[in-house]
Amino acid sequence: MKGRKIDGEMLQEFINNHFKSNLDFSESVGISYSHLYYILKEWVEISYKTMEKFEKIFSECGENINSFMYPEPLIMNGLEIKQIDVFKEDNLLCSITSKDIILRDDIKVECRPY
């Protein structure tokens, strides 16, 4: 299973709200401080094993880890798509980063499988 990236700023805010320090958090999760540093900088993806450790800690704090994760890419014709931006002339109408996340509420997006 391929890893996913977490929003470093949101993770740092979570740590600030629930732990004494980044070191306290890394020890609670069971990862090295340097690994946490790379995760916060968004230089690395979180492996499945580390994700399980994070899920346990987030759950204990009443949070859902998925709220902090970047969405998985959309797959279109075998290509991984990070986001779809819809423009009218030079104005951005909406930005779609997954089938569940749309920048504007007044635009409906339907995913229609083959």
Give me the residue spans of the domains in the chain: 8-68, 71-114
Mean pLDDT of the chain: 84
Is the pLDDT assigned to residue 4 strictly greater than 90? no
pLDDT of 2 over the 70 cut = no
Amino acid at 10: M
State the pTM of this model.
0.67
pLDDT of the residue at 8 = 94
- C-alpha to C-alpha distance for 37 and 24, rounded to whole angstroms: 13
Within 10 Å of residue 102's Cβ, how many Cβ atoms? 17
User: Which residues, 6+ apart, have CB-to-CB distance to 98 below 8 Å?
Assistant: 71, 72, 74
Nearest Cα to 29, choosing from 10, 54, 52? 54
Contact of 65 with 54, CB cutoff 8 Å: yes
How far is CA 101 from each of CA 5, 67, 82, rounded to the nearest angstrom? 16, 11, 12
Which residue would you say has higher pLDDT here, 78 or 106?
Answer: 78
